[in-house]
Chain A
Amino acid sequence: SQQGEEDPQALSIQEGENATMNCSYKTSINNLQWYRQNSGRGLVHLILIRSNEREKHSGRLRVTLDTSKKSSSLLITASRAADTASYFCATDADVQKLVFGQGTRLTINP
C-alpha cells in the first residue's frame, strides 16, 4: 500500500489564491519530500522537511510536518498559472528508497 496519501486528489483554484495540499503517511519517517510534475515531464524535487522540523519555507512554498498525526501540508501562496501541475509527497520509511503518494492534480485558472 502507498506510504503517502495526498488529499485532495484534484484541486482547482483561481490565479492569485493560495493552494493547500495534504499528505498522510503510515510509519515513522526520517524526512518527507514534495515533488512537482508538469504534464509529460519527470518529477522535480521541491522541498525536504526533516522529522525534527515543523515548518519550512522556500519562496512561495510552505511545508508543515506533524509527526504526531503523521501528516504534512504543502501551501503554495499567490498561485500562478505556471503552478499547474501534479504534486507528490514522498517518505523514506525505508532509508534506501522513497515511497510516493498518488499525487494531487492542481489546476490554476487564469
Chain B
Amino acid sequence: DAGVIQSPRHEVTEMGQEVTLRCKPISGHDYLFWYRQTMMRGLELLIYFNNNVPIDDSGMPEDRFSAKMPNASFSTLKIQPSEPRDSAVYFCASSLGGSGGNYGYTFGSGTRLTVV
C-alpha cells in the first residue's frame, strides 16, 4: 500500500476562496481522522469517521469547515470561505480501530494551506 495519500501538498489561496483538501486512506482501515497543526495550537483533531460515518466533528472550528467521506477510499475537507487564520498544515490519518491497535495511526504527508 502507498500509505495515506493527501492532495494537494501545498495550497495557496486568497481569502474568501473555497479550498478542498483530499485524502485517500489505507485500504481496509475503518477509521479516518482529519487534524490541523499550527505552532500555536499544536495538533488539533477536527473530525473523524468510522466506516465512512462522521462520529465526532466537535473539533471543526466553525460552519465554514465541512468534511465528507462518500466511500471507504476517499475523504474531503472543505473550507468555504477561507480566511488567513485557517493557514496551517492539515493532516489526514487512518487506522484499524479507533486507537490504531499495535500499528497506531498512519498519517499522510499533509497539505500546507496558506490563505493570503
Contact = CB atoms under 8 A, between A and B. Distances in A.
Contacts of A88: 43
Interface residues of B, number: 26
Contact of B108 (A42, A45, A97): A42
A96 interface: yes
Given A97-B56, A100-B43, A102-B42, A45 B104 contact: yes
Given A42-B109, A42-B110, A43-B91, A33 B98 contact: no
For chain A, which range describes its interface: under 10, 10 to 19, 20 to 34, or 35 or more residues?
20 to 34
Contacts of B91: 42-43
B102 A42 contact: no
Interface of B: 4, 31, 33, 42-43, 45, 48, 50, 55-56, 91, 93, 98-110, 112
